[in-house]
Amino acid sequence: MELPDLIMMDILSRLPAKSIFSCRRVCKSWRNILLDPHFAKLHLSRAPVDFLLKSEGTVFLAELDEESCISNSDVHLGRKSLMSCKTCNGINIGLKEIELCSSCEGMLCVRRSKRWSPYHVYNPITGEHVVVQQTVRASFMPIDCALGFSRRANEFKVMRFLVVTQSRTIVKGLEVDIQTVGSNSWRSIGETPYWPHLSSISSPFLNGALHWICYAAQMILSFDFDEEHFQPIPTPSQHFDNFYHTVGLGSLEGRLCMCYHKPHSTDPLDIWVMNNYGVKESWTKQFVIDKIIDAFPFQPIRYMNNGEILVLCGHHAAICYNPLRRSSRYIKFDSSKSTIFALPHIPSFIKLQK
Amino acid sequence: MEKQQTPFGFHKLIFILLILLSVSMSALGRDILSDIIELKIESHIASGGNFDSVTVELPNLTGKTLAKVIEYCKKHEESSEKTGELSEKWDGEFIGGVEVGMLMDLFLAGYELKIKGLNDLAASRIGGMMLGKTPEEIRVIFDIKEDPLCKKSKSPKEGERFARDNPWAFQ
């Protein structure tokens, strides 16, 4: 049975990463198709957001396949459904002291949890990685970093957040530097207009920008990686504050989502969706989920094939919520010994170095 | 002289149009199939062609595949007219028992006639057949002749030489 390569590419680009590795060994013509850069692009444009799991010195990709969609009960992601990620030569990301900082468009930003240790931009599927060296800025201290992608320039960029502290109090900040991956030079973006809640590992990347929540300013701060500037995004009119609520950001089909929830209460979890990007009036409370787990933050990840929505709860569990039946089920990350750290990640075959 | 490179002549076009009519000029049929045909006729006439000799390039479908495509279009027209409800269950049964060759044909038909739903359905079914399979199993399912170079060599030396000459097979 012979099909034109382009047609075969179309079919294969819909497969999960694990199957793609098997298909590479089927025959030479399939292999050529699968190693084509166009294939990597097509695959990335279709690949659903999955989870990366860090556990016991290893990093796994957990792909939620059709089976987990059909089932109505809890799903245990055991060893069988996990794929070990490629190790990279520069850094062993399974190690305890390695911090997973941020994931964007198939790439991961990791570092050793020392202040000025370099960042590594790394593709866990191919094992390719690029080192982003830090240059020390006197009296400053880096407190977080994030990875973003500029579609216009087709470049990945790492940003770092810096503060100046004196006797454990922050006296200056928050300043931001940015580096285009591969350029080896930091540029200053200046101070952020608002102070975001810094946990860039939970910042959704959509519309070319990363998003953080700002409790004090009651808004969302976005950073556009094409234009390299910050912009405020309005939040729903529902008030939230740091003491009574926890707020999580996520995205569903390219739309920004915001989850409200009161910890240690039986109140349901509200998921708001911004239907027109940047328009305050377009926020609608789309889902109300009876709470089945206390966690922070709740991050809507994607729609499943069966219409359920996938929500990451903290970094240790996830739920699938069925809006029609108003029922939820667990996605359990199987770990007998140690704790698992999960983050949303799109598997990608894109090459970092051109 | 008849053009040989196009699979459908004018009489075949009439045949297709008749089938379309039997699908009650369905919204889906009209939007997709006949739009393509109309466009092709228009561009043919616009380029100074003679209507008597118009040929329409349609994918090389067998009657069996065409029947299946029309069955799909008909069902989806009905369900979208009624409630617009998802016919996932029907889709599953429709594609479930189809053998690989026909799946490929359906995928091609969906691709060339721009029936996205059918295209996606066939692709996900074909993809589903590869999930969790070893390369050997995939070769059997898709009747792919093992690359002669791929066969296990008898002596280890040959194997080494093969590995050296064909690093792609071992990465």
Mutate to test the interface with A, among B147, B151, B170 (most CBs of A within 10 A): B147
**C-alpha count within 13 angstroms, C-beta hemisphere, residue A58:** 12
Give the per-residue pLDDT at B75: 78
Q: Could you please report the per-residue DSSP string of A122-174?
A: E-TTT--EEEE-----TTEEEEEEEEEEETTTTEEEEEEEEEEEETTEEEEEE
Looking at residue A255, its amino acid is: R
Q: Answer whether A294's CB lies under 8 Å from A312's CB.
A: no
Residues B108-136 have pLDDT tens digits of 888 877 788 888 889 988 988 888 889 99
In chain B, residues with a C-beta closer than 8 Å to the C-beta of A25 are 135, 169
Q: How far is CA A85 from CA A60, A244, A295, B20, in A?
A: 5, 39, 27, 51
Residues B20-58 have pLDDT tens digits of 544 433 334 444 555 555 555 555 555 665 555 455 555
Residue A69 has pLDDT above 70, yes or no: no
Residues A240-255 have pLDDT tens digits of 766 667 789 999 999 9
Cross-chain residue pair A22–B169, CB shorter than 8 Å: no
Kindly report the nearest CA distance between residue B61 and chain A, in angstroms: 14
Residues A5-40 have pLDDT tens digits of 888 899 999 999 989 999 999 988 899 999 999 999
Distance CA A293, CA A285 (A): 20
For chain B, which residues make up each domain, given as ranges?
A: 1-58, 59-149
Give the per-residue pLDDT at B24: 38
B167 band by pLDDT with thresholds 50, 70 and 90: low
Q: Answer whether A31's CB lies under 8 Å from B144's CB.
A: no
Distance CA A254, CA A285 (A): 16
The token pair at B161 is 């030489």
Distance CA A277, CA A256 (A): 7
Q: What are phi and psi of B24, to 5 degrees?
A: 55, 40
Give the per-residue pLDDT at A250: 95
For residue A28, give the chain B residue with the closest CA: B147
Structural domains in chain A, sorted by start: 1-46 (no CATH), 47-345 (2.120.10.80)
Q: Give the strand order in the sheet containing A269-274.
A: A246-252, A255-261, A269-274, A283-289
Q: At what angle do helices B100-112 and B116-130 cross, to 10 degrees?
A: 150
Work out the average pLDDT over B162-170. Answer: 53
The model's pTM is: 0.80
Mean pLDDT of chain B: 66
A317 band by pLDDT with thresholds 50, 70 and 90: confident
Question: Which of B122, B67, B131, B73 has its CA nearest to residue B100?
Answer: B122
Query: Residue A219 pairs with which residues in a beta bridge?
Result: A214, A234
Q: Is A325 on the interface with B (CB under 8 A)?
A: no
Distance CA A133, CA A272 (A): 39
Question: Which of A31, A51, A39 has its CA nearest to residue A14?
Answer: A39
Query: SS3 of A119, please?
Result: strand
Q: How far is CA A83 from CA A78, A180, A190, A312, B95, in A?
A: 10, 30, 41, 19, 29
Question: Looking at the domain covering B59-149, what would its CATH class be?
Answer: alpha beta
Closest in A15, A23, A28 to B147, CB measured: A28
Looking at residue A175, its amino acid is: E
Give the per-residue pLDDT at A347: 94
